Structure 1
Amino acid sequence: MGLNKITAKKSMSDLSSAHMQAGTVLRQLTIYLSGLGMNNQTSIFLPAPVTFSGQEPIEEKDNVLLISRIQMVYRKAVIRMRYYPEIWFMAYSWTTSVDRKDKGLAILKAGLDANPTRHVFHLSWISDPSDAPFIHSFALTYAYAELLEKSQLTKDHRDFTEIHSVYERFFGVLCVELARASPLWRRPCRSADPPTQEELAERKKNQEELPELKKQYSNTWINYMRLAHRAQGHKMCRDVFGKARKDEYIGWEVYEAGAMTEYRCNLEDRRLVAARIFETGMKKHSSHSTYVLSHLGFLLTVNDENSIYPHTYHSIGAIANHDLGFAKTRKLATIQQLPPILFHFVSQLPPRETFHGPIFNIDNLMDKLCTAVSLSCRASSGVDSAHGNVVSH
């Protein structure tokens, strides 16, 4: 009995320092774990140790040994969590940070092969979670395409076929996701029974995801256009935009990017081509206030007198007809309570017309604005006859 006590005391004495070190490491790991989403249990336990290993927790002096150790951690991570694109992206980021770009390209290619349909992933735990709690990224595809672009730019005979193939495959994957989430998508009904609660919940979820998917899809086309312009010139960028226009899922962002690219890079007829692209986009996206304001800003920049008024009247009329989230019968206490697009019209156009436009244009413009917000009388938002400024009451 006495021998057992002596042995136990000796064992506790030998393990005491290791136990204290383990407690210190646990407290440090808790800092990394606190920034992760607790709902995704699988992603809690691996990314934090991987990040922790990359910050030299034991103050290893041998740089070669430290790199070898971290490399082994990432190798185990991509094996055990093969179907998590964020792990592959972390491995790629660290590998390129230690000047191993050739291995970084191989990691990206392997990550894309392992996750052909899992490109949308959560990256908030990589940066400060308070900055962007829900960041979605297509970083694997973008990074892979950029590395391929850089590798070709160093060669005498450049071939960008593989880059185009990467984006074409990616668009195919995204189109499948958009078709699944589209309101037009319907599961074939095999019986006359009403849809179950699970089916209704799935359809509702798909419809909620659709705007974000379309936005990301449009951003992918914009990235593709930029890459084509950098690598192969303005003509190839136009060809990519021509393909994007024919896609049913693109948003107004693609038209804005195409128009502004023409305005900045086309030295021959940039104003004409950019205005034509904006007008084409207005046929499909006139109900999006951000696009309408972007178009208006372009017209004001180039001082296109022939298009400013038709664009303004058409946009204000569309707002009045569709009542974009604003009660028509509501009376305004201040002009700041207007919807953003109408507030922009009220704050920008009347002062401009005061200095450069005839009085009839001011009257017509204010009539349109008053109709759009259904003010009780023109005095609620009028024009000062002396200065032409909009007065809010």
Structure 2
Amino acid sequence: MAGEDAEIALLRQLQAEQETAGWDNTGINADGEPSNTEDMNEEDRKQTVEDTQVLRAISPSDSTTAVSDGGSYDPTSISSLAVPAVKAAIEEESRSSSRASSRRPRTVGGFLADSDDEDASTPISSGLQAAGSVPHKRSASPSPLQTSVAVESLPAQGNSNTTTPAPTASSVTVPALSVPAVTVPKARLPHDKIGILEDRIAEDPRGDLEAWRLLIDEHRGRHKLEEAREVYERFIKIFPQAAEMWVEYLEMEMGSDQFNLAEQIFGKSLMAVPNIGLWTKYLNYVRRMNDLRNDATGNNRTTVSQAYEFVLNNIGNDRDSGTIWKEYIEFLRAIPGTIGGSGWQDGQKLDIMRKAYHRAIGIPMTEVSFLWKEYDQFENGANKMTARKYTHERSGIYMTARSANAALENIHRTLDRSTIPKLPPADGFEGHQEYMQQVEQWKKWISWEQEDPLQLKKDELDVFKKRMLYVFKQAVMTLRFWPEMWVDASEWCLNNGFETEGAEFLSNGIAANPESCLLALKHADVIEKKGGAETGKGPKERGEAVRAPYDKLISSLYELHKQVKAREAKEMVKVEEEAAKDAEIDSIIAKATEGDEDNNAAEAARQAKQEQRQKDVRTKFESELMDVRRAISATWVALMRAMRRVQGKGNPKAEVGGSRAIFAESRAKGKILSDVYVASALLEHHVYKDPAGTKIFERGARLFPDDPEFILEYLKHLISIGDTTNARVVFETTVSKLTANSDKVEKAKPLYIYFHQYESNYGELVQIRKLEQRMAELFPEDPKLLRFSERFGNGGFSAVDYQPIISMSQVQPKAQVMQSIEPVSSPTNQYTNSYMQDQSPRPQYLQPPTNNSPKRPLPPAFEQLQDDLTRPRKIARGESPLKGAAGRRLEAQQRRQGGAAPFVIPRDVNFLLGIIPRADTYNATKFNSDALVRLLQNTSVPNFDEWKMKKDQGVLQHQQQQGWGGGYR
């Protein structure tokens, strides 16, 4: 036994040494991918001659030309653009890393030759400070008491606006950032609950709500209020409108008599969180601090009254505010004075209470009916002579509010108004359908308010707008991570004169969803529209304002890409750890069994299992990373177009860089797709007619040789400028490379289709036939006449597929199935059932009427049934018209009398009657409708009074017979 324990300990030690050595692999670059820098250098050396020619072709004679839309574009300036400053900590990390690439980037044709967009494994330069690169420090955050929660934002992801002038092209070096290898956090001890929860929160702060809750409960359970307070502050920075957590925070502070801190919490939360529960806490706190029983001066009552007005002005329109309205009216009822009295205090009290009732009964809330009854009693108690007048004037408003409350009840029945938001589940995953149902319910509420069922637009437009603003605030509290709701709220505000609130909705939405392209693009659009109307600002100032939302979005997306890569690395580490455990177990089993063949098979199976799991992990994250790169590329393209509108095409070396500076910056950042090259090239070509667009396409073709979408755009561009020779060269080069690999043949299909269309329109027949033959060999699954048909297509119409109508016999309507007129037979049901189950779909009347079975012959009834079911059905013929003079006279008479034509059963009905089963084939119980009607008609239904009298008499007689009271015998 001791020997086996020693062997196990030795195996574990060897495994730990292997894992430790595994991290020292120097063949992995900064992104955790194999480095192929030497291969890229070899490829660059092969292209030196060609790139030198490109450089001569597009280099301007004067590189210091002022920035203007008409100036020449020098792509070589891309290598000398202003490079964003890299943080000192990252530079130090880059210098100290042994795996960082220190070679200087070579420029080819004015472009960086070994940037990240050329090969995903090459380290890139980034001016974005990664939020995840700074270790998390648990320190008390500054108190945000001086700022409103509504405008709080998440910690900055980085600053991409800070730039430093770059030296000349010959001396520019872009240092490659060394990203430390992702390591799995050291395992916590099981009893370290706080540490485990902190790790969960650090890994998923917006998604792991359970960890936040458990961590707070753990600190409060240990009576560590300072630590719990720090966690609350961290939580509300991420979820600033979580009313439930604000209420818990308040209860903790007031429970420990920390009233100063409670007042600070009220100052931070009230105006940003229009929630009934939170505002009720505030009202209770004010009433607690202002005792009305010991109020000789009346100051406390005044304070409480002002608090009620403050609360009702902000949340009094809520459907759940009925309790506060009732408490307010009860508070007013305690004011000195008598309802119905003649003194000035009595009249003042009457006016105040009437005004409160009038406000309350016009709001659709759950207690509106109760408040109306109280109001009616109030008016009658004050003056019965005027009560009818006041109630009659307000009855219409009350009825509208009551019906609106019923409509809101239907909407709110399935509406989740929780203010602790959840991230929307991805489409097709758990919870997505339920989340989308909640989104639709919120939209229903907003649409209901916009329809104005309370009829406020005409007379009380301000009240209508206030209600709309309130419902949007409620919606974004629950759907904090649904960007569309923030945009809808902002658009409504901007269209209805609430510019400040609209801007706040956008800024708060971006703080909640920094990775949302929708919110960032909408914010940039608003800024650009506003900047176009302003005067006195130059292109530089307007450009800085417009690109600010783009910079935040780009920084967040690059950080998201880094997080996804980190998650992938952690998953791979877990797979390796599990594989190591399996190997350890297999080795122990191998020593016990001592079977070489079985051990080899187990080792092969384990290795195959590990490889499959690694493949699954890579496949899982590849699509996610590709989506992030698509979002990054789309953002760069949008920024490029926006800066072209604001600053023109510009110059990367000038102060106002324009669209060209954005293109250069995007290449320096990396993680972009071919979409950025296509957009930049087409801008140069279509807007400025600059030949630099073609040079950008040429460079992109070397960077993305296997991207069919990019090559297709390149072909379209070459053909549009009339360069058909190079178009053919690009086509042949690309399809030859793609079809050489069987896995990439399908990528070449759109290129073949496009070029086949071009050759069909403008090429020679020999070339067309050769191309069609090649396509038939590469894509044998396509129909044979498909390419021939596409050759003669014209705007969606194919002359090859056209079928001309030569004769009317080709368009004859389908034959109508006439109704059967044969009598209904009633065969025995048992024969019908057995026969219909075994009957073959073959037409039975074609079979010979012989019976060669040795079994007992069938009864005559069944033979009759067989004849009835197998022979063709008799169809009623249409009525033949009268011939000759008699027919003409009858037709003329019908026309004179206006007689309608005989009813003709429609074709579809005739067809249905011909295919449905016969009535006698149904086996269910049938009722005789005539007899049933006669039974109901002849049944005597006595008068109720007579029936009651007879019943009472019968009961009385029965009691007399049994003895009054039912005594025992």
Provide TM-score, normalisation by structure 2: 0.31
Give, in whole Å, the separation in 2 of the partners of 1:352 and 1:146: 43
Give, in whole Å, the separation in 1 of the partners of 2:531 and 2:787: 61
Q: 2:455 aligns with which of 55, 59, 69?
A: 59
Equivalent AA in structure 2 for residue 146 of structure 1: D
The yes-or-no answer on 1:155 pairing with 2:535 is yes
Instruction: Give runs of aligned pairs for residues 330-369 of structure 1, distance below 5 A.
Output: 339-354=749-764, 362=767, 366=771, 369=774
Kindly state the Cα deviation for residue 364 of structure 1 after the two structures are TM-superposed. 11
Percent of pairs with identical residues: 18
Give, in whole Å, the separation in 1 of the partners of 2:513 and 2:634: 20
- The 1:233/1:71 distance shift into structure 2, 3 A limit, reads same
Q: Which residue of 1 aligns with 2:267?
A: none
Pair member with larger Rg? 2
**Cα shift readout 1:24-76 (whole Å, capped 9, x = no counterpart):** 5566789999xx96331654543432333233233333322211111122233
Q: 1:231 aligns with which of 624, 646, 665?
A: 646
Q: 1:86 aligns with which of 479, 484, 488?
A: 484
Say which SS state the counterpart of residue 434 (structure 2) adopts.
Answer: coil
Equivalent AA in structure 1 for residue 551 of structure 2: E
Instruction: Give runs of aligned pairs for residues 169-318 of structure 1, distance below 5 A.
Output: 169-181=552-564, 185-187=568-570, 189=573, 192-194=577-579, 204-235=619-650, 236-267=658-689, 270=690, 272-318=691-737
Say which SS state the counterpart of residue 59 (structure 1) adopts.
Answer: coil
- The 1:78/1:20 distance shift into structure 2, 3 A limit, reads closer
Q: Which residue of 2 aligns with 1:319?
A: 738
Q: Which has the higher contact order (CA 8 A, sep 6+)?
A: 2
Equivalent pair of 1:316/1:369 in contact (CA under 8 Å): no
Give, in whole Å, the separation in 2 of the partners of 1:44 and 1:211: 30
- The 1:225/1:27 distance shift into structure 2, 3 A limit, reads same
Kindly state the Cα deviation for residue 17 of structure 1 after the two structures are TM-superposed. 9.9
Q: Which residue of 2 aligns with 1:106?
A: 504
Give, in whole Å, the separation in 2 of the partners of 1:209 and 1:256: 23
Give, in whole Å, the separation in 1 of the partners of 2:414 and 2:763: 58
Give, in whole Å, the separation in 2 of the partners of 1:292 and 1:155: 43
Equivalent pair of 1:181/1:207 in contact (CA under 8 Å): no
- The 1:200/1:86 distance shift into structure 2, 3 A limit, reads farther
Q: Which residue of 1 aligns with 2:525?
A: 146
Kindly state the Cα deviation for residue 98 of structure 1 after the two structures are TM-superposed. 1.0
Equivalent pair of 1:181/1:203 in contact (CA under 8 Å): no
- The 1:260/1:382 distance shift into structure 2, 3 A limit, reads closer
Kindly state the Cα deviation for residue 312 of structure 1 after the two structures are TM-superposed. 1.3
Equivalent pair of 2:630/2:673 in contact (CA under 8 Å): yes
Kindly state the Cα deviation for residue 260 of structure 1 after the two structures are TM-superposed. 0.7
Equivalent pair of 2:411/2:444 in contact (CA under 8 Å): no
Equivalent pair of 1:56/1:66 in contact (CA under 8 Å): yes
Kindly state the Cα deviation for residue 115 of structure 1 after the two structures are TM-superposed. 2.9
- The 1:206/1:55 distance shift into structure 2, 3 A limit, reads farther
Equivalent AA in structure 1 for residue 558 of structure 2: C
Number of equivalenced pairs: 333
Kindly state the Cα deviation for residue 247 of structure 1 after the two structures are TM-superposed. 3.7
- The 1:218/1:326 distance shift into structure 2, 3 A limit, reads same
Kindly state the Cα deviation for residue 303 of structure 1 after the two structures are TM-superposed. 0.7
Give, in whole Å, the separation in 2 of the partners of 1:115 and 1:381: 48
Give, in whole Å, the separation in 2 of the partners of 1:291 and 1:57: 53
- The 1:31/1:313 distance shift into structure 2, 3 A limit, reads farther
Kindly state the Cα deviation for residue 380 of structure 1 after the two structures are TM-superposed. 9.7
Give, in whole Å, the separation in 2 of the partners of 1:16 and 1:203: 63
- The 1:180/1:22 distance shift into structure 2, 3 A limit, reads same
Equivalent AA in structure 1 for residue 637 of structure 2: I
- The 1:301/1:104 distance shift into structure 2, 3 A limit, reads same
Give, in whole Å, the separation in 1 of the partners of 2:506 and 2:685: 35
Q: Which residue of 1 aligns with 2:433?
A: 38
Q: 1:373 aligns with which of 778, 786, 791?
A: 778
- The 1:281/1:371 distance shift into structure 2, 3 A limit, reads farther
Equivalent AA in structure 2 for residue 218 of structure 1: S
- The 1:19/1:51 distance shift into structure 2, 3 A limit, reads closer
Kindly state the Cα deviation for residue 156 of structure 1 after the two structures are TM-superposed. 0.5
Say which SS state the counterpart of residue 740 (structure 2) adopts.
Answer: helix
Kindly state the Cα deviation for residue 245 of structure 1 after the two structures are TM-superposed. 2.5
Kindly state the Cα deviation for residue 223 of structure 1 after the two structures are TM-superposed. 0.6
Kindly state the Cα deviation for residue 309 of structure 1 after the two structures are TM-superposed. 1.7
**Cα shift readout 1:165-187 (whole Å, capped 9, x = no counterpart):** 33222112111222344599522
Which one has a larger percent helix, Structure 1 or Structure 2? 1
Equivalent pair of 1:37/1:44 in contact (CA under 8 Å): no
Equivalent AA in structure 1 for residue 639 of structure 2: Y
Equivalent AA in structure 1 for residue 680 of structure 2: G
Say which SS state the counterpart of residue 39 (structure 1) adopts.
Answer: helix
Equivalent pair of 1:29/1:52 in contact (CA under 8 Å): no
Kindly state the Cα deviation for residue 246 of structure 1 after the two structures are TM-superposed. 3.1
Equivalent AA in structure 1 for residue 755 of structure 2: F
Equivalent AA in structure 2 for residue 59 of structure 1: Q
Equivalent pair of 2:493/2:499 in contact (CA under 8 Å): yes
Equivalent pair of 1:38/1:44 in contact (CA under 8 Å): no
Give, in whole Å, the separation in 2 of the partners of 1:29 and 1:316: 59
- The 1:80/1:372 distance shift into structure 2, 3 A limit, reads same
Greater displacement, 251-260 / 141-150? 141-150
- The 1:249/1:372 distance shift into structure 2, 3 A limit, reads farther
Equivalent pair of 2:411/2:441 in contact (CA under 8 Å): no
Kindly state the Cα deviation for residue 22 of structure 1 after the two structures are TM-superposed. 5.5
Give, in whole Å, the separation in 1 of the partners of 2:697 and 2:490: 39
Say which SS state the counterpart of residue 193 (structure 1) adopts.
Answer: helix
**Cα shift readout 1:341-372 (whole Å, capped 9, x = no counterpart):** 322222222542229xxx6xx38963993597
Kindly state the Cα deviation for residue 304 of structure 1 after the two structures are TM-superposed. 0.5
- The 1:263/1:17 distance shift into structure 2, 3 A limit, reads closer
Provide TM-score, normalisation by structure 1: 0.70
- The 1:146/1:186 distance shift into structure 2, 3 A limit, reads same
Give, in whole Å, the separation in 1 of the partners of 2:413 and 2:709: 42
Give me the CA root mean square deviation.
4.3
Equivalent pair of 1:29/1:48 in contact (CA under 8 Å): no
- The 1:16/1:108 distance shift into structure 2, 3 A limit, reads closer
Equivalent AA in structure 2 for residue 321 of structure 1: A
5+ residue gaps, structure 1, are 1-9, 120-137, 329-337
- The 1:72/1:183 distance shift into structure 2, 3 A limit, reads closer
Greater displacement, 298-307 / 145-154? 145-154
Kindly state the Cα deviation for residue 162 of structure 1 after the two structures are TM-superposed. 3.7
Kindly state the Cα deviation for residue 261 of structure 1 after the two structures are TM-superposed. 0.2
Equivalent pair of 1:225/1:237 in contact (CA under 8 Å): yes
- The 1:143/1:164 distance shift into structure 2, 3 A limit, reads same
Give, in whole Å, the separation in 2 of the partners of 1:22 and 1:140: 34
Kindly state the Cα deviation for residue 320 of structure 1 after the two structures are TM-superposed. 1.1
- The 1:19/1:84 distance shift into structure 2, 3 A limit, reads same
5+ residue gaps, structure 2, are 1-368, 374-397, 417-430, 580-609, 651-657, 793-799, 801-969
